[in-house]
Structure 1
Amino acid sequence: MHLPHHGRYDYSAIPRRPDYSFPDGKRLGIYFALNIEHFAFGAGLGHAVSNELPPPDARTFAWRDYGNRVGVWRLFDLLEEFGLPACHLVNTAVFDYCPEVIEPIIARGDEIIGHGRTNAERQGQWWEADEAHMIAAVRDTILERTGRAPRGWMGPWMSQSRVTPDLLKEAGYLFEMDWPCDDQPIWLRTRDGGKLMSMPYSLEINDSPQVLVRHHSGEEFANMIVYQFEEMLRQSERQPLVLGIALHTMIVGQPHRLHSLRKAIEHIVNHPQRDKVWITRPGEIYDHCAALPPGIMV
């Protein structure tokens, strides 16, 4: 029986793949991903911490907006406190609504990942021409406003159409983060005969589904980060692995959750086996893996 399949990658069992290491022989790559988003008022999609009210829902809009007004700044401070690099999944609406948020990202030398125009929309059901236009417009806006085009992509809500990887490749993106199928970077096939890298990005170590959908506390989410780190560090003795820690400014930017997140980060940066860990950005992971000899990456 042949079930419908996307055709982007073939099945591959992780223990049967070729081995490799990250720079300086490190085995576990970690990146911190801040989702920086802006939403329409009274329309479209959006995160919600409780039951939404009939539109216009000022309460829920304001809770989301806390992330840009307060939460992101607390997270910038936390990154500075521990000297951590980061990537930032930025809606281009942020450049016009709160451009001050972009300034520290550029000053830090962090990476901006294309994250659509706004998380009030998702493009997976759009016509191909409309999706292609949006993907290119995001690229062009980031290039114009920062001087550097984004190399990576994360769709709003991780949304994908049947041709999203093709459109990303054709627009010049090198990797995307919407296929949470693996703990290693893998190649996705594209219709031009080329390849687009899929960067591991977890639905599990992600504050949005854990806190907003599964209703875990900030302390429980911080424990998930620690447990994931410890187990992946152990597993990385056999295979190189990537741990992405996905954070949203309006969620872990709240003080009570930030307190727990700080403890999880302290655990990682002060770990006795810290020398086996590469804390980096997705673009650096891409550069390292894309330079491996052919046949090493699946």
Structure 2
Amino acid sequence: MRDCPRYKYRAIVDHRPFHWPGGSRVALWVINNIEYFEYGSKGLEINEGAARFDPDIVNHSLRDYGPRVAIWRMVDCFDRLGIRVTVALNADVCEHYPQIIHAGLERKWEWMGHGPTNGMRLAGLSEENERMVIRDTLQRIERSIGTRPKGWLSPGLVETHNTLDILAEEGISYVADWVADDIPFFLTTKYRDILSVPYSMEINDMGLILRQKVSGSEFRTRIIDQFETLYEEGERCGRVMAIALHPVLTGQPHRIK
């Protein structure tokens, strides 16, 4: 048995007391995962029964509902609520859905690299191939939005043993793959430390709506319960709360409210 080489154990109760700017107890970030899937690719199997067929028309068209319809419903929702989101962005979105990029630039969204497409994972890539994939992803996003992303979320939250070193080499400042804490902590790389910003597999429509089959109302209740607990704990030491969303799931008419 061995400990993770990227970070050391730290009990949250031992962290020095602090609050976020303005005395806030909770730093809330909403992550909108905007992704591209090639026709015929696997991933995000909303209808598992249809996934065994080729062509898989059902899942492809369901996934396409996200950028065609659901994202615009979510844009309106974020505008009404005054939420500036962070986008986990597949680089292929820049070429295939430029209207979405334009909408995000108008709203000054934050952009995280999220691989070229969500139809692939970093797992199994050689170090050199992975470096090429990460570098190409960041360069394409930079050409599209005008600035290089500072953050990264791996497709499927899947890394290799080289991912963090490559991300540090490419100038990434924070990652969201490591869901080990409610407070940011540093991950060690060959070059410099990278900040791990708390993401969530619990307050995430992929896990709750797609896999646990909870209703929109239940998802809302869990979001509120999560916040209330973190807010209470944040009286002594600030917390981070992440809400991870995917347009094709949360952007459905019966869930968006």
Determine helix, strand or coil for the equivalent of 2:202.
coil
Post-superposition shift, 1:48?
Answer: 1.7
Say whether the 8 Å CA contact 2:91–2:138 is kept in structure 1. no
* 2:234 alignment partner AA: S
For residues 56 and 4 of structure 1, the distance between their equivalents in structure 2, rounded to whole angstroms, comes to 44
For residues 12 and 4 of structure 2, the distance between their equivalents in structure 1, rounded to whole angstroms, comes to 20
Q: Which residue number corresponds to residue 104 of structure 1?
A: 103
Say whether the 8 Å CA contact 1:43–1:55 is kept in structure 2. no
Q: Which residue number corresponds to residue 20 of structure 1?
A: 18
For residues 47 and 186 of structure 2, the distance between their equivalents in structure 1, rounded to whole angstroms, comes to 35
Say whether the 8 Å CA contact 2:151–2:173 is kept in structure 1. yes
Determine helix, strand or coil for the equivalent of 1:113.
strand
Q: 2:204 aligns with which of 199, 203, 206?
A: 206
Post-superposition shift, 1:52?
Answer: 2.8
Post-superposition shift, 1:10?
Answer: 0.5
For structure 1, the residue ranges without an aligned partner over 5 or more in a row are 260-298
Q: Which residue number corresponds to residue 190 of structure 1?
A: 189
Post-superposition shift, 1:33?
Answer: 0.6
Q: Which residue number corresponds to residue 58 of structure 1?
A: 57
Residues 158-177 of structure 1: CA deviation (Å, up to 9, x unaligned) = 11111111110001100000
Q: Which residue number corresponds to residue 231 of structure 1?
A: 229
Q: How many residues align?
A: 256
Post-superposition shift, 1:51?
Answer: 2.5
For residues 87 and 208 of structure 2, the distance between their equivalents in structure 1, rounded to whole angstroms, comes to 20
Say whether the 8 Å CA contact 1:39–1:46 is kept in structure 2. no
Query: Once the two structures are aligned, what percentage of the paired residues are identical?
Result: 34
Determine helix, strand or coil for the equivalent of 1:242.
strand
Say whether the 8 Å CA contact 1:88–1:110 is kept in structure 2. yes
* 2:219 alignment partner AA: F
* 1:221 alignment partner AA: F
Post-superposition shift, 1:45?
Answer: 2.6
Post-superposition shift, 1:41?
Answer: 1.5
Q: How does 1:279-294 map to 2 (within 5 A)?
A: none
Asked whether 1:240 is paired with 2:209, we answer no
Q: Which residue number corresponds to residue 247 of structure 2?
A: 249
TM-score between both structures, scaled by the size of structure 1: 0.84
For residues 25 and 235 of structure 1, the distance between their equivalents in structure 2, rounded to whole angstroms, comes to 14
* 2:111 alignment partner AA: I
Q: How does 1:264-283 map to 2 (within 5 A)?
A: none
For residues 185 and 47 of structure 1, the distance between their equivalents in structure 2, rounded to whole angstroms, comes to 31
For residues 6 and 161 of structure 1, the distance between their equivalents in structure 2, rounded to whole angstroms, comes to 13
Residues 195-233 of structure 1: CA deviation (Å, up to 9, x unaligned) = 000010000000001111111112111111011011111
Q: CA RMSD in A?
A: 1.1
* 2:133 alignment partner AA: M
Post-superposition shift, 1:4?
Answer: 3.3
For residues 169 and 44 of structure 1, the distance between their equivalents in structure 2, rounded to whole angstroms, comes to 29
* 1:244 alignment partner AA: A
Q: Which residue number corresponds to residue 127 of structure 1?
A: 126
For structure 2, the residue ranges without an aligned partner over 5 or more in a row are none
Post-superposition shift, 1:238?
Answer: 2.0
Post-superposition shift, 1:49?
Answer: 4.2
For residues 125 and 202 of structure 1, the distance between their equivalents in structure 2, rounded to whole angstroms, comes to 25
Residues 58-84 of structure 1: CA deviation (Å, up to 9, x unaligned) = 111110110100111011000100111
Say whether the 8 Å CA contact 1:43–1:56 is kept in structure 2. no
Q: Which residue number corresponds to residue 278 of structure 1?
A: none
* 1:159 alignment partner AA: V
For residues 216 and 45 of structure 2, the distance between their equivalents in structure 1, rounded to whole angstroms, comes to 17
TM-score between both structures, scaled by the size of structure 2: 0.97
Q: Which residue number corresponds to residue 113 of structure 1?
A: 112
* 1:6 alignment partner AA: C
Q: Which residue number corresponds to residue 280 of structure 1?
A: none
For residues 213 and 200 of structure 2, the distance between their equivalents in structure 1, rounded to whole angstroms, comes to 17
Q: Which residue number corresponds to residue 168 of structure 2?
A: 169
Moved over 4 A (4+): none
For residues 222 and 240 of structure 1, the distance between their equivalents in structure 2, rounded to whole angstroms, comes to 23
Residues 17-39 of structure 1: CA deviation (Å, up to 9, x unaligned) = 11221111111100111000111
Post-superposition shift, 1:42?
Answer: 1.6
Say whether the 8 Å CA contact 1:49–1:212 is kept in structure 2. no
For residues 169 and 47 of structure 1, the distance between their equivalents in structure 2, rounded to whole angstroms, comes to 32
